[in-house]
Amino acid sequence: MMDYSCFDCEVKDKIAHVKMSRPDEFNSMNKAFWSELPHLVESLSDNASARVIVLSGEGKHFCAGMDLANFAPSDSPPNAHNGMRSESAYRVTLDLQHTITCLEKARMPVISAIQGACIGGGVDLATATDLRYCTKDAFFCIQEINIGMAADVGTLQRIPRLVPEGIVRELAYTGRRFMPEEALRHGLVNEVFDSKEEMMTAVMDVAKEIASKGPLAVAGSKESLNYGRDHTVEESLNHIALWNNAMGIGDEMSVAFKAKAEKKDPEFEDMLPRRKYLDGEITS
């Protein structure tokens, strides 16, 4: 795995622990962050060496959001009319959205462990993960409204599926802090812990439990839950019926039943690494 300037990553016992590693800058999202995260997450998803990803932040805060240096005007703006420049900016926004969406698209679940500030882009990250846990000193803030813009890389699209709409609108319009007890009460986080150490122990226990399950069944569950969020119940039922029959769920079921009969823990095969035709990894 390549070296990253904004992240450390360790894969152990089928768990990939991805740590945002700029604590002195409160893990703010500089330009390198936006390119490194999808590269790292997609590498983990493709090589299938891990069955679950844990995302955490080093230091006092989880993530302080976009590095304000990213908003500095360019020294050499393009020589083009306004429409051309706006179209170019639109494409940049799509790239930024992809950085966040890579967490949702990963073949394995992603768990975020949040302490201190989770602001702006940090909320984008958290809402794109499958499970969220936080400490009692954490707080969430849709910071974009406080700097004169509407959040545009995922928060406004994902958080309404997690938190009641009236609360979402209040947070989006006011930019106020959303505290841990509220986040727990309204469903943004699964549990609140007294300390980061306690949280990480619990998160790793959850990750270990997920990693012990059949990885194809877990991937299918994530695929189905994500699909169901954006489709009708009828469409989603049809989708999971097709998925389970196309993927052949019998293999992992056989392993599970055999292990149960023998009164031992099942040992499932890993997912196959993703082969990429355009990279020349598939031969006909």
pLDDT tens track for 52-65: 999 999 999 999 99
Instruction: Give alpha helix (H) positions in 48-120.
Output: 82-105
SS3 content of the chain, % helix, strand, coil (to 5): 50, 15, 35
Q: And the tokens for 19?
A: 């740590």
Compute the mean pLDDT over every residue in the chain, rounded to the nearest whole number: 94
Cα 61 → chain centroid = 17
27, 32, 38, 40 alpha-carbon torsion, rounded to 10°: -80
**DSSP letters for 212-238:** TS-HHHHHHHHHHHHHHHTS-HHHHHH
Strand 139-141, strand 191-193: pairing: unpaired
The per-residue pLDDT for range 145-199, each reduced to its tens digit, is: 999 999 999 999 999 999 999 999 999 999 999 999 999 999 999 999 999 999 9
Strand 15-20, strand 7-12: pairing: antiparallel
Rounded distance between C-alpha atoms, residue 56 and residue 269, angstroms: 27
What are the residues whose beta carbons fall under 8 Å from the beta carbon of 167, sequence distance 6 or more? 182, 186
Confidence of residue 275 (pLDDT cuts 50, 70, 90): confident
The per-residue pLDDT for range 57-92, each reduced to its tens digit, is: 999 999 999 997 776 666 677 788 888 888 988 999
pLDDT of 11 > 60? The answer is yes
Q: Give mean pLDDT, residues 221-231.
A: 97
Cβ–Cβ under 8 Å, residues 161 and 153: no
CATH 1.10.12.10 given to domain 215-278: yes
Q: What is the pLDDT of residue 78?
A: 75
Residue 113 has phi, psi (to 5 degrees) of: -115, 115
pTM of the model: 0.93
Q: What is the pLDDT of residue 85?
A: 86
pLDDT of 239 > 60? The answer is yes
Q: What is the pLDDT of residue 254?
A: 95
Rounded distance between C-alpha atoms, residue 226 and residue 96, angstroms: 20
Percent of the chain with pLDDT over 70: 95
Rounded distance between C-alpha atoms, residue 104 and residue 265, angstroms: 29
What ranges do the domains of the chain cover? 7-211, 215-278
The per-residue pLDDT for range 121-144, each reduced to its tens digit, is: 999 999 999 999 999 999 999 999
Residue 91 has phi, psi (to 5 degrees) of: -65, -35
Q: What is the pLDDT of residue 95?
A: 95
Q: What is the pLDDT of residue 284?
A: 42
Identify which of 150, 152, 192 has the alpha carbon closest to the alpha carbon of residue 171: 150
Between 283 and 214, name the one with better pLDDT.
Answer: 214
Q: And the tokens for 115?
A: 């302490």
CATH class of 7-211: alpha beta
pLDDT of 278 > 70? The answer is no
Cβ–Cβ under 8 Å, residues 18 and 34: no
Q: And the tokens for 245?
A: 């029959």
